[in-house]
Structure 1
Amino acid sequence: MAIVLDKSHRWRVIAAHVFLIALCALVIMPFLMVISISLRPGNFATGSIIPETISFEHWRFALGLPFQDAQGRLVTPDLPVLRWLWNSVKIATLASLIGLLLSTTAAYAFARMKFRGKRQALTGLMLMQMFPAVLALVALYSIFDRIGNAFPFLGIDTHWALLLAYSGGIALHVWTIKGYYDTIPAEIEEAAKVDGATPWQAFRMVLLPMALPILMVVFLLAFINAVIEYPVASVLLKQQDKLTMAVGSKMFLYEQKYLWGDFAAAAILSGLPITVVFILAQKWMISGLTSGGVKG
């Protein structure tokens, strides 16, 4: 049976669609402008949205390929953009996995175990999130400078030092995963233990598959934060080949001259890993929700 809509409802539907289209256009416009700047000849931020002349010199620079400058000379890129991108992906992946491992087990302890000082520890984790990491830059530099004297691979200007610094910021992830654990009945794990499963087996084979959606969310958030993080990485990393994309991109913005075209191409490259991880995490989130709904 066909549903007949009155004219007022029809206009509300049209107005809602127009609003959504305008909102999407407003969100996409900055991205289109960055693409436009990366395709213009020269390093200028101003100009028409649709370039009159398409130039790939900025993309060749970002990819490490020789290109011709405005005078027609063949120029070799002097900044290792792809190396910065690889450093960002490597550090973000390892930091996300380490943070996920620590936060998953810590959240299980807070959600399922009873011990003295549990509430105070949770409150302390919450209070730590009130202070930004920028306030601890001096302390981080001093700590890793001292550690580097005894263990050089954990000192200043090493990726392991940055990984260790990122792994400490898991308080919010612990709270997020704990809240999801609290929604899963503990009787399910107790039933697995009655069937002969050890506490570790009940945690790994029963609880973790049911918590897969929130684990993917935490991994995605940790990955994005590690890729775009600037203050801590700028303090701990010094050598050009060891920089991340967020820190290395600062070299495109000189005080005398801003290389907006090269910066725009590098910015688009830095967003590709986040896009790929988001698509993969979305796939696993959907499969985890589906399997949980069927087996629950």
Structure 2
Amino acid sequence: MAIVTPRSQRWRLLATHAALIGFITLTMLPLLMIVSISLRPGNFAGGSLIPTALTLDHWKLALGIAVMGPDGQWQQPAFPVLQWIANSMKVALVSAAVALLLSVTAAYAFARMRFRGRGLTLDALLLLQMFPSVLALVAIYALFDRIGEWVPWLGLNSHWSLVLAYSGGIAQHIWLIKGYFESLPVELEEAAAVDGATPLQAFTHVLLPLAGPILAVVFVLAFLGAMIEYPVASVLLHDEAQLTLAVGSRLFLFNQRYLWGDFAATAILAGLPLTLLFMVTQRWLVSGLSAGAVKG
């Protein structure tokens, strides 16, 4: 027997689809505008969404390739964009790996071990996470300025100092992994102990393989946070060749020198590694964000 949909319900369905299409269009509009600006001649932010003329000059400059200017002279790239992207990738990868190592071991201790001050330490971590790092910029600068006098490669204008600064913001990751560990049954580790496994072996061979999805979530969050972070990087890095992309991008928008086209091409180019990372880790991200919500 055929099911006849009431007329009012069909209109609700059409209205829902129309609203969804409109929402997707509004969401994609900023990206389409950036693509359009990167393909227009000149460095203007205004204009129609569909450019009347197309050029790849902004993309070539972002890739470090000289282009022929309107006056017939060769125009060299204004900034080392690829170097900035490489710096950001290096800092983000190393800091994400360090943050993951520190947070997963700390989370295991808080989830499985009972010691004095455990609850107070967890509350303190949660409280410290409430204050943004921008409030400690003066202290961060003074600290690494003093460290640089003793260990130059950990002082100002060093990528390693930036990695060390980023590796300290792991309170959120510790709480996230701790909740996941607590959702796993303790009987798994007890069974491994019966078979002769040490606590370290049970952690590395039993818990870590099961925690793959949440570890992927933490790594991606730490990587993304390091890629887009600006305040701390702007204080610690000074030389143009040492800058990360988030700090170097501000050089495109100086007074009386707004390079909107070059900036748009750089933004899209910088988004490609992040998009690739999300595409590769999408399966683990979905399972990691949903896992641990229900115990048992």
**Is TM more than 0.5 here?**
yes
For the structure 1 residues 8 and 276, does the alpha-carbon distance in structure 2 shift closer, same or farther, using more than 3 Å as the test? same
For the structure 1 residues 64 and 161, does the alpha-carbon distance in structure 2 shift closer, same or farther, using more than 3 Å as the test? same
- Where does residue 16 of structure 1 map in the other structure? 16
Residue 49 in 1 paired to residue 49 in 2? yes
- Residue 282 of structure 1, CA deviation: 1.2
Taking the aligned partners of 1:286 and 1:118, their CA distance within structure 2 comes to: 30
- Residue 193 of structure 1, CA deviation: 1.3
SS at match of 1:43: coil
Residue 189 in 1 paired to residue 203 in 2? no
- Residue 169 of structure 1, CA deviation: 0.5
Taking the aligned partners of 1:2 and 1:28, their CA distance within structure 2 comes to: 39
- Residue 285 of structure 1, CA deviation: 4.3
SS at match of 1:101: helix
- Residue 218 of structure 1, CA deviation: 1.0
For the structure 1 residues 107 and 57, does the alpha-carbon distance in structure 2 shift closer, same or farther, using more than 3 Å as the test? same
For the structure 1 residues 3 and 242, does the alpha-carbon distance in structure 2 shift closer, same or farther, using more than 3 Å as the test? farther
Taking the aligned partners of 1:187 and 1:8, their CA distance within structure 2 comes to: 55
- Residue 119 of structure 1, CA deviation: 0.5
For the structure 1 residues 73 and 257, does the alpha-carbon distance in structure 2 shift closer, same or farther, using more than 3 Å as the test? same
Percent identity between matched residues is: 59
- Where does residue 239 of structure 1 map in the other structure? 239
- Where does residue 28 of structure 1 map in the other structure? 28
Taking the aligned partners of 1:283 and 1:120, their CA distance within structure 2 comes to: 35
Which structure 2 residue ranges, 5 or more long, are not aligned? none
The more displaced of 191-200 and 246-255 is 191-200
**1:238 corresponds to which letter in structure 2?**
H
Q: Alignment RMSD, CA only?
A: 2.0
Deviation by residue 1:17-49 (Cα, 9 ceiling, x = unmatched): 222111111110000000100001000000111
- Where does residue 256 of structure 1 map in the other structure? 256
Which structure 1 residue ranges, 5 or more long, are not aligned? none
Please tell me whether the aligned partners of residues 217 and 284 of structure 2 are also in contact (alpha carbons under 8 angstroms). Answer: no
- Residue 279 of structure 1, CA deviation: 1.1
- 1:156-167 to 2 correspondences below 5 Å: 156-167=156-167
Deviation by residue 1:227-282 (Cα, 9 ceiling, x = unmatched): 00000000000111110000011110111221111111111111111111111111
- Residue 163 of structure 1, CA deviation: 0.2
SS at match of 2:254: coil
Please tell me whether the aligned partners of residues 223 and 274 of structure 1 are also in contact (alpha carbons under 8 angstroms). Answer: no
SS at match of 1:88: helix
Taking the aligned partners of 1:253 and 1:8, their CA distance within structure 2 comes to: 52
Please tell me whether the aligned partners of residues 62 and 262 of structure 2 are also in contact (alpha carbons under 8 angstroms). Answer: yes
The more displaced of 146-155 and 280-289 is 280-289
- Where does residue 109 of structure 2 map in the other structure? 109
Please tell me whether the aligned partners of residues 98 and 167 of structure 2 are also in contact (alpha carbons under 8 angstroms). Answer: yes
Taking the aligned partners of 2:7 and 2:134, their CA distance within structure 1 comes to: 55
Aligned residue pair count: 293
Taking the aligned partners of 2:214 and 2:194, their CA distance within structure 1 comes to: 27
Please tell me whether the aligned partners of residues 42 and 70 of structure 1 are also in contact (alpha carbons under 8 angstroms). Answer: no
For the structure 1 residues 265 and 196, does the alpha-carbon distance in structure 2 shift closer, same or farther, using more than 3 Å as the test? same
For the structure 1 residues 86 and 3, does the alpha-carbon distance in structure 2 shift closer, same or farther, using more than 3 Å as the test? farther
- Where does residue 147 of structure 1 map in the other structure? 147
For the structure 1 residues 243 and 4, does the alpha-carbon distance in structure 2 shift closer, same or farther, using more than 3 Å as the test? same
- 1:125-136 to 2 correspondences below 5 Å: 125-136=125-136
Deviation by residue 1:128-172 (Cα, 9 ceiling, x = unmatched): 111111011110010001000000010000000000000000011
SS at match of 1:47: coil
**1:199 corresponds to which letter in structure 2?**
P
Residue 216 in 1 paired to residue 205 in 2? no
Taking the aligned partners of 2:220 and 2:197, their CA distance within structure 1 comes to: 31
Residue 6 in 1 paired to residue 17 in 2? no
